[in-house]
Amino acid sequence: MSSSIVKSHCNKCGGERNHLVLHREHSSWVEDVDGGRNSISGSDTYYMLKCAGCDEVQLRHESWFSENYPDDEPTVRLYPPALSRRRPQWMLDLAFKSGVSTVVEELLTEIYVALQNDARRSAAMAIRSLIETIMIDKVQDQGTLGKNVDAFIAAGFIPSASEAFFRGTLIEAGNAAMHRAWKPTVSQLNAMMDLTEWLVSSIYIHPEQAAAVQGKLPARNR
């Protein structure tokens, strides 16, 4: 790596960007094993970086361990962690919208925290909790999850093109993550978030546009 410029992910700009190295600390170690017949080694390098585009500051930690063969590349951790998905701009509007439960805002925030830390099972369970909260808010509690789903769809909140994905994946994902240790892939979680964000936006942020948008949302494959 260059002593003055490194490539690193920038959450504010989005993606890999040039960063100025404000400070660098490096340490290494060697340890004898098997009675001194062999040895293992490792190193840690810390960079305090500032994005050359937006001036955002981050800490980058590169660790290397000799026993990671055949993966000889260092492990990279960023603080704060790299965002896998940006929060929509309309999230700031949720707090100022009348009639929006604070639970909706809190659950959505928890989902993005889970995504940022690659806690995909936690994100899937929080999505399920958020959707159930929204359904009860809009169609009241019908007694069972299945009846809530039926009432929510019958009320027109889900476009027909997305009904199968809503029933088969978005609702069941939380159950699978909680009871069967299912871990969604990044692409599966992004698909779930696409519909989740659309639901929150159309119901709470732009309800007057929901009717016009319904039926235009593309279907998702499970």
Q: Is 40 helix (H, G, I), strand (E, B) or coil?
A: strand
Task: Say how far apart CA 157 and CA 167 lie, in whole Å.
Answer: 13
SS3 165: helix
Pairing verdict, β 16-33 and 57-65: unpaired
Give the end-to-end CA distance of the chain in Å, rounded to a whole number.
42
**Strands 75-79 and 16-33: what pairing?**
unpaired
pLDDT tens for 14-28 read 888 999 999 999 999
Percent of the chain residues past pLDDT 90, beyond the cut: 41
Q: Is the pLDDT of residue 128 over 60?
A: yes
User: What's the Cα-to-Cα distance from 194 to each of 24, 65, 88, 143, rounded to whole Å?
Assistant: 39, 38, 11, 28
- The tokens for 46 are 């810390």
Q: 141: helix, coil or strand?
A: coil
Query: Tell me: the pLDDT tens digits for 105-116?
Result: 899 999 998 988
Give the tens place of pLDDT for each residue, 136-168. 999 999 999 899 999 999 998 988 888 888 888
DSSP state of 97: S
Look up tokens 């499970």; give the residue: 222
pLDDT grade for 3, boundaries at 50, 70 and 90:
low
Mean pLDDT computed over 34-54? 91
The chain-wide mean pLDDT, for the chain, equals 85
| pLDDT value of residue 220 | 46
pTM comes to 0.65
Residue 14: per-residue pLDDT? 80
Percent of the chain residues topping a pLDDT of 70: 90
Q: What is the pLDDT of residue 124?
A: 92
Report the candidate in 115, 123, 173 with the shortest Cα–Cα distance to residue 145: 173
Q: Is the peptide bond before 70 cis (omega within 30 degrees of 0)?
A: yes
**Contacts for 111 with CB less than 8 Å, ≥ 6 apart:** 123, 126, 127, 130, 193, 196
Q: Which two tokens stand for residue 104?
A: 């909706």
Q: Which amino acid is residue 164, in one-letter code?
A: A
DSSP 129: H
The residue ranking higher by pLDDT, 192 or 222, is 192
pLDDT in tens, 57-99: 999 999 999 887 656 788 889 988 877 778 888 888 887 776 7
For residue 136, the model assigns a pLDDT of 93
Alpha-carbon distance 81 to 9, whole Å? 9
pLDDT at 211: 53
**What pLDDT score does 131 carry?**
93
